[in-house]
Structure 1
Amino acid sequence: MPTRNTPWPAGSPCWIDYGASDLDAAKEFYARLFGWEYTGGDAEYGGYLNATRNGEPAAGLGPLMNPGDSPGWTTYFATDDSRATVDRIREAGGTVVVEPMEVGPMGTMTIAVDPQGNAFGLWQSGTHTGARIFNEPGALVWNEAAVTDPAAAREFYAAVFGFAFEAIPMDGGMEYSTFATGGNPLGGLGGHEPGSPKGWSVCFAVLSADDAVATVEAGGGKVTMAPTDTEYGRFAVVTDPWGAPFSVMQVPAGS
């Protein structure tokens, strides 16, 4: 079971959370889909919950910060210095929506938007180091962005996080690259295809993509892309009952 109990290296996607319009219903939907249990929910932190898998934090869920926003998933990148990263975001043309904000002893949260309007977060670890389980059924396995201008997005994220990009050949000539700060790829970035989700998206590992899709549909969600075999595993794109997109990737248990 891949786990981590120390802060993630700067630039790594380190945490994800879900802004819910109906928190109780979202808890039930994702618990049924991923086998999650929940801790937290204190009023001091706005009812924010940690979703756990095998007892380890996998993701967060909380009420929408702005009730007028659409429910959805946010990807957070690790930083060792929130203020310095915020400066780089602004210098590269991005916008800071929520200034670095201490969340008790747990860490410092920031929300920003890149020049193409795609939201993402920063997390500077305190006692909460981010996801402690990953690449395991019911946990995060991949983060990627679908953007209007991939070249401009690569320039922005390289300036902010120091990413190096490697182009990956794709069917149909779609532009796609993985990004890294050294070592293994941390995620991907590619061109936005009409009819598909735009911006940063999250992908969860599951034991069976077909079973996961059936659970999504039974719970009121929809299938955007039916389960498809790829060289990386069987993959599907779905939306939850509130229209929030995410994907699932079939992986062996304990991979």
Structure 2
Amino acid sequence: MAVRNEAWPAGTPCWVDCQVDDPVKESEFYASLFGWEIQGGDAEAGGYLMALKDGRAVAGIGPKQQAGTLSVWTTYLAADDADAVAEKVAAAGGQVMVPAFDVLDAGRMVVAADATGGVFAVWEARNHTGAAVYGEHGSYCWNELHTREFEAAQKFYAEVFGYSYEDVGDGTTMRYAMFTPPGADHAAGGMNDDTVTLGEPMPSYWLTWFQYDDVDEGVRRAEELGASTLMPVSDSPVGRMAVVAGPQGETFGLIDTNVRVGEM
């Protein structure tokens, strides 16, 4: 099992949580799908639930802060200083949607939108260092930004987090870049140019991928539990994958990185 007990390096996706109308009900869906143990939900924590795998934190499930908004999974990017990152977000053309605030003794966070409108959170770890289990069945393994303003997004995250990029794809049927934070020796996530994909234009958004060691079974189980399939199961050079929406509408990906077909 891939386990992490210390804070994640700055700029790395370090945590994911979803905001839904009924966290308790949705936690039952994810517990059944991923085998998560659910804890928390007390008033002091605002009804926030912590999902555990083998006793270690993997994700959060909480109530929406504003009624009528979409249910979503949010990607958190690690920071050594959340306040300083908030200043960089504004300077780079983004928007600080929720200024830096303390989350009890767990950490300090910011909610922001990048220069293309993609919403993400910033996490300065204290007692809660982020995901303790990752890349394993039932835990997140990859986070990527989907945008129709590819160059603007790359410029924004380079200015705010210092990302460097490695281009992937042929630029026609697929235009993708993997990003690496400063000092890291491997990519931490990706960005997809949605202008080269078919379908209706979508606002920029971050997509969380969860490892599932049999995607076909995962999709079948998710649908049985009330989810809907947005992208059917398909093979790729990075894994067998599908995109689904939970019962309350939040979108996420399922991928089995052990099953790879073709070359990048």
- Shorter-chain TM-score bucket reads over 0.9
Identical positions, percent: 38
| 1:166 to partner: Cα distance | 0.6
Partner of 1:236: 242
Partner of 1:188: 190
2:185 is aligned with what amino acid?
Answer: G
Contact 1:13 1:75 in 2 (8 A): yes
| 1:251 to partner: Cα distance | 4.0
Q: Counterparts in 2 of 1:39-188, with a 5 A limit?
A: 39-170=39-170, 172-181=172-181, 182-188=184-190
Distance in 1 separating the partners of 2:226 and 2:150: 33
Map Cα deviations across residues 75-134 of structure 1 (whole Å, 9 max, x no partner).
000000111111110000000011111011110011001122110000000100000000
Count of residues in correspondence between the two structures: 252
| 1:171 to partner: Cα distance | 8.0
Q: Counterparts in 2 of 1:12-27, with a 5 A limit?
A: 12-27=12-27
Distance in 2 separating the partners of 1:170 and 1:212: 30
Question: TM-score scaled to structure 1, two decimals?
Answer: 0.95
Contact 1:209 1:249 in 2 (8 A): yes
Contact 2:119 2:205 in 1 (8 A): yes
| 1:215 to partner: Cα distance | 1.1
Q: 1:30 to 1:227 in 2, by over 3 A?
A: same
Distance in 1 separating the partners of 2:248 and 2:214: 23
Q: Secondary structure, in 3 states, of the residue corresponding to 2:235?
A: strand
Q: Secondary structure, in 3 states, of the residue corresponding to 1:232?
A: coil
2:10 is aligned with what amino acid?
Answer: A
Distance in 2 separating the partners of 1:184 and 1:195: 33
Q: 1:44 to 1:170 in 2, by over 3 A?
A: farther
One of 252, 255, 261 as aligned partner of 1:249: 255
Partner of 2:30: 30
RMSD: 1.4
Moved more, 240-249 or 169-178: 169-178
Contact 1:33 1:216 in 2 (8 A): yes
| 1:232 to partner: Cα distance | 1.6
Runs of 5+ consecutive residues of structure 2 not aligned to the other structure = 259-264
Contact 2:19 2:73 in 1 (8 A): yes
Distance in 2 separating the partners of 1:60 and 1:172: 37
| 1:170 to partner: Cα distance | 4.7
Question: TM-score scaled to structure 2, two decimals?
Answer: 0.92
Runs of 5+ consecutive residues of structure 1 not aligned to the other structure = none
Distance in 2 separating the partners of 1:20 and 1:170: 37
Contact 1:137 1:251 in 2 (8 A): no
